[in-house]
């Protein structure tokens, strides 16, 4: 057995034993992630797995004083390649945290400062999204995870890259922040022309979502762990917990409405959470009925975002979520779009 790189923390035999006992987190045909106590173990059968690069990158980030989860082992076992990282105690991925909490602007400013600091120290994270950033809810600190797409390069080259490549992670806050708040963050990191950056961001992202939606739709309906899980023929939102599933209520509409919810997730427009879909009954279930008053004028910005897809809505279709942006309650509007169901 050969080693790509490792610390003295584990032997490959110990890692293989831990992996056999660990709890599955997500998997594909060639890669799997499992959790064993305070450790996450990645396994990949391919020769070009990239674990050695990720392990070395994590070390360079840590040496540069940037927050990253501890990478403890990287090596090859009998059946494939392993990477072991430590857990970030009391933490949750930022995208998941924002589904339940709306922190003050200081929270978002800290992440903006981290994005700026990465660049200032010569690192470009080409896959920097809110699922790759963990937040410790006790210490209120952050740590990067899954850093295989981080590259170190000369500052002159970094500074000549498009701002959309350098600061794309900040655009992911549009699911919880209004346009004015986003512009505040853009100014903080030194983006020139924040207003134009915002408009270009929406145009580019929405064009990309149109292109990738057919692939996402197939993944959702097949029970791909990143989006849904399939149990006894029923599809469950992969992010729904037991309490949310137990409290779910029937809503009008079947498969198209279920898919519409995931489409809105991609567009980052808040809406009622779709909890599960029963194909046999063509029945969709969602979180409990939203009883807050209509979103009114606060829904105008969200309506304008849907205009990119020629989806008409009215202020009465939205509900005040009580946490910043309104939620779209009339999911049938999106479900009626042909591209939602087209194969």
pLDDT in tens, 131-167: 999 999 999 999 999 898 999 999 999 999 999 899 9
Across the range 267-290, mean pLDDT stands at: 91
Q: Quick one: tokens of 253?
A: 């509409």
Whole-number pLDDT of residue 1: 26
Paired with 71 in beta bridges are 85
Q: What is the rounded distance in angstroms from the CA atom of residue 188 to the CA atom of residue 115? A: 11
Closest by alpha carbon to 96, among 279, 273, 306, 314? 273
The mean pLDDT of the chain is: 90
pLDDT surpassing 60 at residue 8: no
Whole-number pLDDT of residue 189: 96
Band the pLDDT of 343: cuts 50, 70, 90: low
Count other C-beta atoms under 10 Å from residue 301's C-beta.
Answer: 16
Q: What is the rounded distance in angstroms from the CA atom of residue 105 to the CA atom of residue 184? A: 10
pLDDT surpassing 90 at residue 235: yes
Whole-number pLDDT of residue 4: 40
Whole-number pLDDT of residue 25: 85
Whole-number pLDDT of residue 185: 97
Q: Quick one: tokens of 53?
A: 């690069």
Q: What is the rounded distance in angstroms from the CA atom of residue 238 to the CA atom of residue 220? A: 10
Q: What is the pTM of this model?
A: 0.86
Band the pLDDT of 6: cuts 50, 70, 90: very low
pLDDT surpassing 90 at residue 26: no
Phi, psi of 176 (to 5 degrees): -135, -15
CB 54 within 8 A of CB 6: no
Whole-number pLDDT of residue 166: 93
CB 105 within 8 A of CB 174: no
Q: What is the rounded distance in angstroms from the CA atom of residue 232 to the CA atom of residue 248? A: 18
Across the range 91-95, mean pLDDT stands at: 90
């Amino acid at each position: 057995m050969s080693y790509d790189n490792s610390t003295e923390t584990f032997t490959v035999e110990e890692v293989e034993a831990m992996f056999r006992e660990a709890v599955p987190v997500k998997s594909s045909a060639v890669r799997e992630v499992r959790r064993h106590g305070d450790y996450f173990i990645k396994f990949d059968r391919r020769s070009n797995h990239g674990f050695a690069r990720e392990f070395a990158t994590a070390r360079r980030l840590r040496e540069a004083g940037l927050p990253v989860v501890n990478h403890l082992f990287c090596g090859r076992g009998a059946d494939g390649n392993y990477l072991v990282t430590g857990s970030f105690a009391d933490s949750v991925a930022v995208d998941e945290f924002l589904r339940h909490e709306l922190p003050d602007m200081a929270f978002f400013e800290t992440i903006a400062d981290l994005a700026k600091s990465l660049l200032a120290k010569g690192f470009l994270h080409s896959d920097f999204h809110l699922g790759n950033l963990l937040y410790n809810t006790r210490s209120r600190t952050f740590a990067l995870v899954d850093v295989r797409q981080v590259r170190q390069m000369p500052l002159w080259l970094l500074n000549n890259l498009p701002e959309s490549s350098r600061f794309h992670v900040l655009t992911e806050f549009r699911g919880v922040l209004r346009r004015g708040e986003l512009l505040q963050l853009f100014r903080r990191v030194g983006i020139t022309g924040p207003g134009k950056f915002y408009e270009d961001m929406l145009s580019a992202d929405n064009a990309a979502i149109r292109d990738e939606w057919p692939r996402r739709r197939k993944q959702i309906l097949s029970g791909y762990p990143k989006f849904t899980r399939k149990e006894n023929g029923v599809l469950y939102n992969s992010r729904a917990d037991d309490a949310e599933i137990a409290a779910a209520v029937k809503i009008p509409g079947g498969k198209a409405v279920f898919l519409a919810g995931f489409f809105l997730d991609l567009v980052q427009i808040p809406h009622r959470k779709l909890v599960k879909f029963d194909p046999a009954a063509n029945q969709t279930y969602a979180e409990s009925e939203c009883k807050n008053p209509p979103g009114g004028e606060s829904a105008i910005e969200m309506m304008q975002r849907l205009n990119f897809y020629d989806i008409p809505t009215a202020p009465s279709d939205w509900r005040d979520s009580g946490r910043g942006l309104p939620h779209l309650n009339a999911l049938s509007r999106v479900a009626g779009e042909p591209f939602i169901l087209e194969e």
